[in-house]
Amino acid sequence: MLPARVSKAERPRLHSRWIMAVAAAALIGLSVIGMLAWGSIYLLPHPYTYSKTVAASGVELYTLTVKPEHIELRAADRPLRDYRVYGINGGFFYQDSVLSIAVNGDVPVKGQAGGYGSGWFNAKYPRGTLVWDEAAGRFSVQLVSSAAELNVQDRSRYFAQGGISMNLSDEAGWEEAMLLEHLPYPEEKRLRSGLVYDDTGMLWLIVTPTRCTAAEFRTAILERIAPDSAKEGIFLDGDGSSQLKSAETSLDGDSRDLQQIIAIN
C-alpha cells in the first residue's frame, strides 16, 4: 500500500514537528551527558557532615565530620584536588618519604612495615599519633616513634595517623609537649590542619585557610569544635600542605604534591 501523499499545506507543519522532535532528542542527550558529568564529580562516598565556622579570633575552620569506619589512610603523589576522593592532607613528609605514622591495620601506606618513609615511623621524635582501635571501639592519642609501639586490641583492625599532640585537655602543659614533639614553626602565621575526635566517637577533619599560629589554631578548635564535648586531637602537616576536598568546597593550600592523605570512603 503506498503512503498517503502529504499536501503542500501540511508540509510546513510536519517540518516544524520534525525540527521540534530533533531538538527535544538533542536536549535529552545533553541532559544525560550533563548528569553523567555531574555524577563523575559529585557521586562519591559522602558519609560526612561539612561545616564552616569562624572563631572569635577570626580563624576560619572548615571541617568534615565522619565516623571512623569511613576513614582510609592513603599514599599520594599529587595535590589532593587531583584525586577523586574527599578528605584532607595527612602527616609530614619530605620529598617522596612519609615521615609520620600512617597505617591501616599494621600496613603502612607506602612500602613495607619497618621501611623508612613508608608511614611506619614518626621520624626523629616520639610524636602524638591519633589511633582508632576498632576492636575496642575507641580513639586515643599515643606518643610513639613507630607503629610497632601502638597499643591496640587487634592489629588488623585499626588505623593510626601521626602528627603532633594538641593536648586539648591540658592548658598548662600542651605548649611544652608540642615543643618536645617539634611542631614546625608554631609561632609563625601559617595555614594549618588537624584531626580531632570527640566523646561521641566522631572524627573531625579540620583545615584552616587563615594564617595563624599553632596556639590560635588550637584555641579556635577548643572554641568551635564540639564545644560541649570532651575531645582530643593532633596537628597535621601545615602551610601549603593544608588541603581539603569535599563536595561543598576545596582548599588547595599552595597546590603542592602530597605524599599521604586522609580519605573518606
- Model pLDDT for residues 175-227, shown as the tens digit of each residue: 999 999 999 999 999 999 999 999 999 999 999 999 999 999 999 999 999 99
pTM of the model: 0.84
Question: What residues contact residue 72 under an 8 Å CB cut-off, 6+ apart?
Answer: 104, 159, 262, 263, 264, 265
Residue 46 confidence (pLDDT): 86
Q: Are residues 19 and 109 in the same domain?
A: no
Residue pLDDT, tens place only, 89-115: 999 999 999 999 999 999 999 999 999
Residue 39 confidence (pLDDT): 54
Domain containing residue 72: 46-264
Has residue 15 been placed in a domain?
A: yes
pLDDT average, residue stretch 117-143: 98
pLDDT average, residue stretch 139-153: 99
Share of the chain above pLDDT 90, in %: 82
Has residue 202 been placed in a domain?
A: yes
Whether the pLDDT of residue 173 is over 70: the answer is: yes
Q: Are residues 133 and 110 in the same domain?
A: yes
**How many domains would you assign to the chain?**
2
Q: Are residues 130 and 32 in the same domain?
A: no
Q: Are residues 110 and 21 in the same domain?
A: no
Rounded to 5 degrees, what angle do the CA atoms 140, 142, 144 make?
155
Beta carbons of 125 and 142 less than 8 angstroms apart: no
Q: Are residues 165 and 38 in the same domain?
A: no
pLDDT average, residue stretch 24-44: 58
Has residue 82 been placed in a domain?
A: yes
Has residue 3 been placed in a domain?
A: no
Has residue 4 been placed in a domain?
A: no
Whether the pLDDT of residue 36 is over 60: the answer is: no
Distances (CA, A) of 256 to 63, 108, 169, 238: 21, 22, 33, 11
Q: Are residues 111 and 232 in the same domain?
A: yes
Residues in the chain: 265
Whether the pLDDT of residue 138 is over 80: the answer is: yes
Q: Are residues 30 and 83 in the same domain?
A: no
Give the closest residue to 183 by CA, choosing from 144, 227, 237. 237
Q: Are residues 87 and 216 in the same domain?
A: yes
Q: Residue 146 carries which DSSP code?
A: B
Has residue 1 been placed in a domain?
A: no
Q: Are residues 51 and 36 in the same domain?
A: no
**Cell numbers that stand for 160 in this block:** 593510626
Q: Are residues 16 and 112 in the same domain?
A: no
